[in-house]
């Protein structure tokens, strides 16, 4: 005997899932458009980092050219960590996190929505920082290959960072705990991104670039899948 409730087709379930992901992303973007707290704090922090490095390396032009890749990704990592921490802390402090968890949707949709929102914030900051960095350090960073490296590195950072920030937000020392948890896990992303960025800027052959790109792609796929499977257990705890 069949029930009176019609079952959803696979296509309908996929569309419903994507709508839930899109709703979470739109909520984060709309809230940020109203408050402008997250992006402004990330941007100011990133600008301070590159200015400090600029003044510290001002007397040594050769050193500035050599450390460009490292300084760039240190800036992205610090600003991204600040954004990840604030993104989940705002949800927790306003009581929105409990409401999201009670929503009648798959919790993995909440994870992907938050991860895409965090990725969007990182990409916005990176799009602003790259031309400013190019002017301060007299290095052309507006390179198509570099854009791909930045995107791959940001995806991995946001994927892992969203999961770990969901875990750290429950603790009192969340501001300190997240970097302690995050940096060891994303070290492969940062090393690969620095090496790939350096290869692009120096115009090295593709044979020297692709191993680092392959590592970034593999990291993004593996850790996004792991976060997808673990998010439900993390938020339950």
User: Which structure tokens are listed for 11?
Assistant: 């296509």
Structurally, how many domains does the chain consist of?
1
Largest CA distance in the chain: 81
Domain that holds residue 126: 10-236
User: Which structure tokens are listed for 65?
Assistant: 């050219």
Model confidence over 4-23: pLDDT tens digits?
A: 445 667 777 788 888 888 88
User: Which structure tokens are listed for 129?
Assistant: 């920082």
Model confidence over 223-234: pLDDT tens digits?
A: 999 998 888 887
Residue written as token pair 């960073």: 141
Closest CA to 83 of 54, 126, 134, 53: 126
pTM for this entry: 0.87
Closest CA to 158 of 90, 104, 112: 112
Does 2 reside within a domain?
A: no
- Banded pLDDT at 122 (limits 50, 70, 90): very high
Sort 33 into a burial class: Cβ within 10 Å, 0-12 / 13-18 / 19+.
exposed
Does 1 reside within a domain?
A: no
Does 4 reside within a domain?
A: no
């Amino acid at each position: 005997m069949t029930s009176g409730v019609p079952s959803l087709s696979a296509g309908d379930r996929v569309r419903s899932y994507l709508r839930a992901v899109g709703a979470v992303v739109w909520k984060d973007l709309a809230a940020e458009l109203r408050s402008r707290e997250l992006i402004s704090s990330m941007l100011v922090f990133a600008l301070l980092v590159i200015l400090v490095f600029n003044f510290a390396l001002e007397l040594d032009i050769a050193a500035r050219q050599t450390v460009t890749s490292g300084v760039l990704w240190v800036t992205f990592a610090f600003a991204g960590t600040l954004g990840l921490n604030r993104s989940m802390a705002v949800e927790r402090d306003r009581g929105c996190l409990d409401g999201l968890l009670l929503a009648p949707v798959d919790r993995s949709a909440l994870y992907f929505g938050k991860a895409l929102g965090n990725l969007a914030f990182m990409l916005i900051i990176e799009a602003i920082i790259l031309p400013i960095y190019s002017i301060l350090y007299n290095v052309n960073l507006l390179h198509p290959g570099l854009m791909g490296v930045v995107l791959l590195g940001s995806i991995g950072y946001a994927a892992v960072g969203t999961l770990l920030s969901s875990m750290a937000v429950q603790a009192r020392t969340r501001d300190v705990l997240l970097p302690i948890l995050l940096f060891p896990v994303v070290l492969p992303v940062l090393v690969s991104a620095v090496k790939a960025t350096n290869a692009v800027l120096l115009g090295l052959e593709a044979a020297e670039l692709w191993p680092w790109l392959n590592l970034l792609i593999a990291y993004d796929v593996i850790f996004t899948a792991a976060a997808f499977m673990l998010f439900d257990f993390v938020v339950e705890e």
